[in-house]
Amino acid sequence: MISRESEAYQAALGWLVDRIDYEKLATSGSRYRFTLDRMRDLIRRLDHGQHLAVDPNESSAGPPSSEQDSSTDVSASVKSATKSRDSANVQIVHLAGTKGKGSAATMVAALLQAAGYRVGLYTSPHLVHLEERFRVDGEIATPEEMIGLIDSMRPIVDAMAAAKIGGPSFFELTTAMAIEHFHRRRCDIWVLETGLGGRLDSTNVFQSHATAVTSIGLDHQNVLGDTVELIAAEKAGIFKRSTPAINGVPSGPVRNVITQIAEQVGALLSHLETDIQIEPNSDSDKRWGSSFRIRGLGDWMPAETNIDLKLEGTHQVHNAAIALALVDSLPEVTRKLRAEQRI
């Protein structure tokens, strides 16, 4: 068993952390320039291109994607075909928001695990150890798994660095590592939390099956914009055509922006407060935690069912409602829940 104190682990982690290049950051007072081209290239080189989405919202903000060497086309095609068969039924849940997205993502993963699925959860940042970002059924990646994931990235990083597109960033690499980890562990569902914003976040290259914006506030204004409306447009950039989208922002100008983005993309938008209603359970005798009822979901969960949380605060009720709505947005999952009454 390899420990975090081992030389192999420290060397692998050191190589990954060295990908954080502060010299590439924008100068004071200027806007950052993001592009998803490099992330798409990285995912294709990992042979996970079958999960990529075409994002019509992305502007041309960087170098064009490089082409893989023609000498590797045949072998890469064989690998991709094999991985496509292995992961054809993978579903992806994607969350953005100023606050609550980490809690809601964790709740989604817990609900789906309780329903009998193997679930990969990717969140950021970590509190103590980097591998906290990569969880399968609630368990963080082991040091051995981390070394294996990092080693699989090295030749790809070298190849990209030598090409016009350039080497991937630290967050692009950790996102790619999460996807590779979930593939290796044969996860049925991937739950992905955005790192920053949404539209141009590295997690937004994938074709999701359900999306959510939990809340909107002023954050990362030098990157996302200096008004809540601009920030809302960036975070709603994770919406995909014909894909369920849950909005947790209350009525007002910010919700109007989110609605407009959903209409432009063709996402299937539902709102907390109007389409999905939350009612506090005043009859609860809980001394700690929260209790509520939720309406507007499918018949897999009776409307009068009490939902009890071991978390305190109306904000966690809000997050739990988003999590339940996201689960409700996955037809295959709800059919299973209806048949088995697992949750």
Does 109 map to a domain? yes
Pairing of strands 268-271, 290-295: unpaired
| CATH code for the domain in which residue 280 is found | 3.40.1190.10
The rounded average pLDDT for each run of 10 residues, N- to C-terminus, in the chain (343 residues) is: 90 92 53 78 97 65 36 44 60 97 98 96 94 97 97 96 93 97 98 94 97 91 84 96 97 96 98 93 76 90 83 93 97 88 60
How many domains does the chain divide into? 1
Does 289 map to a domain? yes
| pTM of structure | 0.88
Do 14 and 43 meet the contact criterion of CB atoms below 8 Å apart? no
Identity of residue 117 = Y
User: Distance between CA atoms of 150 and 169, rounded to whole angstroms?
Assistant: 13
User: Distance between CA atoms of 51 and 253, rounded to whole angstroms?
Assistant: 33
Does 66 map to a domain? no
Do 175 and 203 meet the contact criterion of CB atoms below 8 Å apart? yes
pLDDT for 216 equals 94
Does 178 map to a domain? yes
At residue 191, the 3 state secondary structure works out as strand
Do 215 and 100 meet the contact criterion of CB atoms below 8 Å apart? yes
Does 65 map to a domain? no
Does 274 map to a domain? yes
Rounded to 10 deg, the angle between the 7-17 and 143-162 helix axes is 40
Does 50 map to a domain? yes
Do 322 and 272 meet the contact criterion of CB atoms below 8 Å apart? yes
Does 2 map to a domain? no
Domain extent at residue 297: 7-59+71-340
